[in-house]
Amino acid sequence: MTDAVREYWNGQAAKFDVEPDHGLADPAIRQAWAELLLPLMPMPECDVADLGCGTGSLSLLLGKAGHRVWGVDLSEQMVARARTKVADAGVSAEFVVGDASVPPRARGSVDVVLVRHVLWALPDPDAALGRWTGLLRGSGTMILVEGLWGTGAGIPADRCLEMLRAHRKSATVTMLTDPALWGREIADERYVVVSTA
């Protein structure tokens, strides 16, 4: 990733959590994300890599549920906010500054790879998926939350599914149309792709 990309996200950090689905400040939105993600964890107390963790809202959610979370983000400002957020909540999680597409983490070191709204923005998403698959212990669980947004940015669900299936035996897609996840009605395509093998 380039310095320009890093600086862009550093500039977004202060207002990033204003979006309801970013900050998860609203209890109903936070609960909706918990109901989506927690049942996808393959066991209690998983080791989870939150790649492109932003300000750590999903890391905090998973950490509160007893999972061991390690997050990485390109933006120093995002990581600083994530560290503060979990510390203020009394939750343990580790965050590092780095490129989510090439995570500085050992192969076979996590049970779950969680990536939200990152894959679509990468210059080589296929290569990133290969590296992310390598992080998983055993078959592990890969969770990709992506979309094709009204702005035209993003990646269609069928394309995301196709790319992941090149690296994993199976994957399923679920459309995320519930306004409770986003804090409003949506008209674009938002989804989660889950692979457990």
Q: pLDDT tens digits for 21-64?
A: 999 999 999 999 999 999 999 999 999 999 999 999 999 999 99
Residue pair 79/96 in contact by the 8 Å Cβ criterion: yes
Q: How confident is the model at residue 102 (pLDDT cuts 50, 70, 90)?
A: very high
* pLDDT above 90 (res 1): no
| pLDDT digits 0-9 by tens, 70-95 | 999 999 999 999 999 999 999 999 99
Q: Which two tokens stand for residue 167?
A: 């690296």
Domain 3-195, CATH number (from 3.40.50.150, 1.10.3720.10, 3.30.930.10, 3.90.1310.10): 3.40.50.150
Asked if 92 contacts 50 with a C-beta cutoff of 8 angstroms, the reply is no
Q: Between the CA of residue 3 and those of 62, 77, 145, what are the distances in Å?
A: 30, 14, 25
What are the structure tokens assigned to 49, written together? 């890599």
Q: In the chain, where are the structural domains located?
A: 3-195
**Residues with Cβ within 8 Å of residue 85, at least 6 apart in sequence:** 55, 56, 57, 60
